[in-house]
Structure 1
Amino acid sequence: MLAVRRLVLTLALTVPCVLAAPAAAAVPTIVVGDSLAVGTKPYLGSLLPGYPLTWDVRNGRTTPEGMRALRAKLREVQPGAVVVSLGSNDGPDPARFADRMRRILAAIPPSSCVIWPSIVRPDRKGDETGLNRVLRRMAAADDRLTLIDWQGAVQRGAVILPDGLHPDPAGYQRRSQMIATALQRNCAAPDTGTDTPSAPAEGGVPAPSS
């Protein structure tokens, strides 16, 4: 049984709103990803005033392509956090995706927090069930990794995907809110004073045991 580390399923808020001030200082953050990351770019910065965001996002990007882009950015930036939006354009093979995830996580500095939304995509792109299982397993094994429950938001009807993959503008705003909440609650720079346990993100649940 895998030890329970940190798996935070960040729920979307009922309506977009201004976030509360973070408990600790903002951290330099790299955002790397596909078209879903492209869609958050108009919103995420305004939700994270003071956060230095470095973007490398492109439509249609696969995880190997995103890995190369991330490694290039890591030569330029020492991030406190990395937001990864990849997997939607990959094949459905969980073993291959797990290998790609391991290489991405190995490339990210040990002290950096990682935010990664779960995957929802149309049938024509292949079943995402195995890929999301890999994401949950990796989060249980690596306490740097926080998952965003994008799949749950879609299943609850909180987000509409007109083409089965991309949300409408309101959905992109909600996705951005979920990412911003996770960053502020789980990836803030550590306090140099006395240790204080950080509050879990809204909707946080333990990682599954398998």
Structure 2
Amino acid sequence: MCPAVRTSVSSLLAALVVLATAAGASAAAPSRVLVLGDSLAVGLEPYLGTMLQPSEVLWDARSGRTTPQALPLLRARLREETPRTVVLSLGTNDGSDPRRFADRIRRALAAIPAGVCVVWVDVNRPPRKGSYVALNQVLRDAARKDPRMVVVDWDRAVLTGRVTLPDGLHPDPAGFRLRSRLVANAVAHGCRARPS
């Protein structure tokens, strides 16, 4: 083999080793999870991160946040990077009109790239803002239409007495741990079944 060919083959092999090492490193790197939402997302922060190891969790949660307030923040976050999963805790502070909420869900899903899993926690709240039952129905309808989407059934956890809500909306620490576990299970199992 002539020296020029030998040098080219050696360079090619070296490049392949570098690519294989980089691919292995990226496969082992933690996958990012963006959590965006309201006070019920704020309450997940002490628990969810440790349940999602080795995922890196990015937080953007604030008390009182509505879905319309969250949509520009979601778009801005997704311009910065593309996480593997987006967890949304939104709808609790919205009105009770299911058509408006369905449009907000549609806009949120349109902003999220095609290969990203979407975990959306459904709503349970006091009746002061109107019934939330129709909001949960449009969430489930959206999940049936979009294979990326997984709905976490928080409402059922509350209605079956698995959770205590001292103020009628926010759970105690044990309830936030359960909410975190439900979200972590959806990320681990529901998202794995979604197309990548």
* Range class of TM-score, shorter chain: 0.7 to 0.9
Instruction: Give the one of 101, 106, 110 matched to 1:106.
Output: 110
Please say if 1:156 is aligned against 2:153: no
Displacement of 1:187 in angstroms is: 2.3
Displacement of 1:185 in angstroms is: 1.2
- Secondary structure at 1:65's aligned position in 2? helix
Residues 10-30 of structure 1: CA distance to partner in whole angstroms, max 9, x if unpaired? xxxxxxxxxxxxxx9853111
- Distance in 2, matches of 1:127 and 1:105, equals 23
Q: Once superposed, which parts of structure 1, at least 4 consecutive aligned residues long, lie more than 3 Å away?
A: none
Instruction: Give the one of 69, 91, 109 matched to 1:87.
Output: 91
Other-structure match for 1:205: none
Q: How many residues align?
A: 167
- Distance in 1, matches of 2:181 and 2:172, equals 14
Other-structure match for 1:143: 147
Between Structure 1 and Structure 2, the one with more helix by share is 2
Conservation of the 8 A alpha-carbon contact between 1:83 and 1:115: yes
Instruction: Give the one of 174, 181, 195 matched to 1:177.
Output: 181
How high is the TM-score relative to the length of structure 1? 0.76
Other-structure match for 2:136: 132
Query: Structure 2 counterpart of 1:121, which letter?
Result: R
Displacement of 1:106 in angstroms is: 0.2
Residues 109-151 of structure 1: CA distance to partner in whole angstroms, max 9, x if unpaired? 0110000111000011221011011001101111111011101
Backbone CA RMSD of aligned residues: 1.6
Segments of 5+ residues of structure 2 without an aligned counterpart are 1-27
Other-structure match for 1:14: none
How high is the TM-score relative to the length of structure 2? 0.81
- Distance in 2, matches of 1:144 and 1:49, equals 21
Residues 61-104 of structure 1: CA distance to partner in whole angstroms, max 9, x if unpaired? 00011111111111112111100000000000000000011000
Point out the structure with max Rg over C-alpha. Answer: 2
- Distance in 1, matches of 2:125 and 2:159, equals 12
Other-structure match for 2:81: 77
- Secondary structure at 1:75's aligned position in 2? helix
Conservation of the 8 A alpha-carbon contact between 2:150 and 2:191: no
Query: Structure 1 counterpart of 2:59, which letter?
Result: W
Please say if 1:119 is aligned against 2:126: no
Displacement of 1:53 in angstroms is: 1.1
Instruction: Give the one of 67, 71, 79 matched to 2:71.
Output: 67
